[in-house]
Structure 1
Amino acid sequence: MPATLDELVAIYEDLHRHPELGRQEHRTAGVVAEHLRSLGYDVAQGVGGTGVVGTLTRREGPTVLLRADMDALPVQEATGLPYASEATAIGADGTESPVMHACGHDVHTTCLLGAAARLAADPRWQGRLLLVFQPDEEGGGGAQAMVDDGLFVRFGTPDVVLGQHVAPVPVGVLGVRSGPAFAASDALRITLHGTGGHGSRPETTVDPVVLGASVVQRLQTVVSREVAATETVVLTVGSFHAGTVANVIPDRAVLGLSIRTTDADVRTRVLAAVERIVRGEAAAAGAPREPEIETLNTFPAVVNDAAACDRVREAFAAEGRWVVVDPGPVTGSEDVGILADAAGAPCAYWLLGGADPALFASATSVDEIRRVVDGLPSNHSPRYAPLAGPTLESGVAALVAAARSWLA
């Protein structure tokens, strides 16, 4: 039973040392289930693949869903921490890669276990806790998989969905934003077809490397020339694979795209622009075949309910331990909104500060704070490392305060 901060830190370090990719979180799920059972929760494993659900009922009252994600990323850790990951795993593409909790999901899981312990030990509340430990957030399919596996049919419908995401802002800061809070995400794989040949005779080929380079360059104009400066769009080409050796022109190139938007109409326009550019560049290059544009995953923006956010802010203010800010729209994405939409419940999902406050000691303005944040390793970086103890303590308290504001 993780009753003390030292015990929580030990759980966190263990999870960090043993990360697992999405839909492979078997060890993590076992750790979670064991702790929940020791606290008296009813526990179900294998929900949506590797998801874990814990429930605890105290008389009549609202049902509060607290959610944490459990999966890691195919990243080689470079933090130098004594509990750094040395794990590897086989990804969906069949290749083995290093694995790291580069996004902080180990923080989320540990904080929810700590909140589970604190709430189980508190006899004052009444209602029902529905704790959801979700797989495969990074792949975008985990929340939907749990819904499709009957999450709310089997365990009841919540009155609110609550959760948090650690970020490189100071410990003691919580970011709560009403309305569109986290961007929608679309991940695409684009296969460009060429005609291969000898590197010394490019005139006999259609070079997909040059075609791919043209596509990458032209895609940068989607944000700069096709959407208004007031509209939020991020378009990243995160991977470009072509060829094997220097003197062979390959017959294909494969690009991986990540697109983030906060408005549905803008999303539609951006996706249409991407398709138009890809097909147009392929035609201009004389490609022998039409390019293939595949959607790998997609999930909607997280839209926080205004009334739920007001209640959460009031609960945080009553504790008197945090600085609560509006962080503006976050261009990172989250599939927690799928749980709220499927349940028909309001959502309040906030940012949890996880950076060492000492790093911000000399900052005297918002702009200076932002410059410090921009200089820190961020989520998905191989050097991302939240300040473990204080972050966990803050995250547990935030979840408990938010949950208690609904539990009678």
Structure 2
Amino acid sequence: MPDSPFSSLLSQHLPDLHSYEELYKHFHRNPEISTLETETSARITSELQKLNSQHNSPIEIKTNIGRTGLIGIHRNGAGPTILLRADIDGLPILEKTGLPYASSKRMMDTHLDNIEKPTMHACGHDFHITCMLGAIETLLACAHAWSGTLIYLFQPAEERGAGARMMLDDGLYTTHGCPEPDVCLGQHVFPFKAGHVYSCAGPTMSAADSYRITIYGRGGHGSMPHRCIDPVVIASHIVVRLQTLVSREVPPDETAVLTVGSLRAGETVNVIADEAVLQINIRSVSEYWRKVLLDGLKRTVNAECEAGRAVKEAKFEKLNEFPLCDNDEAVTRKVEESFTGYFGERHDPTMKPVLGSEDFGWLGSDIGKPYMFWFFGGFDPDEHDQRVKDGTTNEIPVNHSPFFAPVIQPTLKTGVEAMAVAALTFVGKK
């Protein structure tokens, strides 16, 4: 049976989550694209102000950090400083869940390409926001039982790998007066069994690097290829050759993925284009093999361009970058002890690394501080068990799917509890 010093505390002070269920539905109905989360940020600010009023709380709220980011600083006596983070942006995806609270929102992506796009919380950031707010109310209610400083950070633009960097570059720890944390903590809902928490030490989410690469040929009539330099042929050789970076240069016991997400060239059937554009995503779970793959990408592209007589060197444009999420061993083991004590068998500390990516780690690594990132399940427990029996877990809609629809409970309660327990691990009075 679970044995946790926090069980009694949370059972007494966990808020009624009905209002948070409704708040979650509000955020789900009203997602906003990365860097444009103005209404989301305003609603979070309003909720923090409401909690301050209800609990006579000293939380200091600072807004407009890195455009739409915000923090709440909760000073509660002497002790460590712990940062809790939730990301807040949605994705340009047309929702197909059929939920009564599904998003039908469209918005102009004025920060990227000025194109109107359908918008959906297809990665669970609506849960992250709501769980954080629920955890804050819990921590306010039991403030007598802990001592230290908690920073509640709501981060924009995670989906573009930009939000953490935007907040840092805007002076999060300097201009905006956020105390430097001793530890940073974050979590993510995933299509695992709802009610359960999952963790591991060391590399937890992959580094990711995305590029747009333009290959330059010489266009002309499809009947006269000898008078042209076909960039499609060069690009096709690049696509095939790149697959050998993982299969022949990275050891089989290392984890790496290289995906050519798109190859675009030409507009009609009888014309040889003068340019081909590839978009490439590379994921890795060690800095050494990350460098091998990035070096190999440039070497391969340049060599194939030379072999194909490209008219000039390929153009490399970096689209985004996510750091390796590398959980600190000591911090992770300490939190895992609390999770096992609180959740019992509903905590799995043997999770394998996930090849999705996060920019959360920069909030700690930029100032040389440790961090931990964990997962909580969002898929209906009974259906999950049945799918395990049937061998159909691969059919569960995953993050970024238009069908991604975590069940509200016990997902919400678990996320609130996990965030509160992790924070109390460091600031709770023993």
| TM-score relative to the length of structure 1 | 0.93
Among candidates 32, 40, 60, match of residue 42 of structure 1: 60
Among candidates 217, 221, 231, match of residue 244 of structure 2: 221
Q: Which residue of 1 aligns with 2:358?
A: 334
- The alignment-based identity, stated in percent, is 43
Deviation at 1:13, TM superposition (A): 1.6
1:204, 1:359 → 2: CA distance?
60
Moved more, 203-212 or 8-17: 203-212
Deviation at 1:390, TM superposition (A): 1.6
1:75, 1:119 → 2: CA distance?
34
Among candidates 132, 137, 141, match of residue 158 of structure 2: 137
Say whether 1:289 aligns with 2:312.
Answer: yes
1:146-170 deviations in whole A, cap 9, x for unaligned? Answer: 1122212211011211111111110
Amino acid at match of 2:286: D
Amino acid at match of 1:76: L
1:7-406 matches, within 5 Å, as 7-40=19-52, 41-91=59-109, 92-123=112-143, 124-153=145-174, 154-320=177-343, 322-362=346-386, 371-406=391-426
User: Residue 123 of structure 2 contacts residue 399 of structure 2 at CA under 8 Å; is this kept in 1?
Assistant: yes
Equivalent position SS for 1:24? coil
Equivalent position SS for 2:261? strand
Equivalent position SS for 1:286? coil
2:301, 2:360 → 1: CA distance?
31
User: Residue 70 of structure 1 contacts residue 105 of structure 1 at CA under 8 Å; is this kept in 2?
Assistant: yes
- Where does structure 1 lack aligned partners over 5 or more consecutive residues? none
Structure 1 residues 51 and 224: CA distance shift in structure 2, 3 A: same
Deviation at 1:200, TM superposition (A): 4.3
Structure 1 residues 388 and 292: CA distance shift in structure 2, 3 A: same
Moved more, 312-321 or 138-147: 312-321
Structure 1 residues 19 and 241: CA distance shift in structure 2, 3 A: farther
Amino acid at match of 1:27: E
Equivalent position SS for 1:328? coil
Equivalent position SS for 1:282? helix
Structure 1 residues 205 and 32: CA distance shift in structure 2, 3 A: same
| TM-score relative to the length of structure 2 | 0.89
User: Residue 360 of structure 1 contacts residue 372 of structure 1 at CA under 8 Å; is this kept in 2?
Assistant: no
1:69, 1:24 → 2: CA distance?
13
Deviation at 1:363, TM superposition (A): 6.2
- Where does structure 2 lack aligned partners over 5 or more consecutive residues? 1-13, 53-58
Segments of 4+ in structure 1 off by > 6 A?
A: none
Q: How many aligned positions are there? A: 403
User: Residue 387 of structure 2 contacts residue 393 of structure 2 at CA under 8 Å; is this kept in 1?
Assistant: no
Deviation at 1:323, TM superposition (A): 2.8
2:308, 2:100 → 1: CA distance?
51
Structure 1 residues 257 and 314: CA distance shift in structure 2, 3 A: same
1:89-132 deviations in whole A, cap 9, x for unaligned? Answer: 33413333222212111111111111111111223222111001
Equivalent position SS for 2:426? coil
Amino acid at match of 1:192: I
**RMSD of equivalent CA atoms:** 1.9
Moved more, 62-71 or 313-322: 313-322
User: Residue 180 of structure 1 contacts residue 301 of structure 1 at CA under 8 Å; is this kept in 2?
Assistant: yes
Equivalent position SS for 2:366? helix
User: Residue 195 of structure 1 contacts residue 250 of structure 1 at CA under 8 Å; is this kept in 2?
Assistant: yes
Structure 1 residues 239 and 86: CA distance shift in structure 2, 3 A: farther
1:345-401 deviations in whole A, cap 9, x for unaligned? Answer: 22111011111111232467xxx69x5432211111121111123211110110001
1:201-254 deviations in whole A, cap 9, x for unaligned? Answer: 444332323332222222122111111101111111122222233343322122
1:160, 1:56 → 2: CA distance?
15
2:60, 2:421 → 1: CA distance?
22
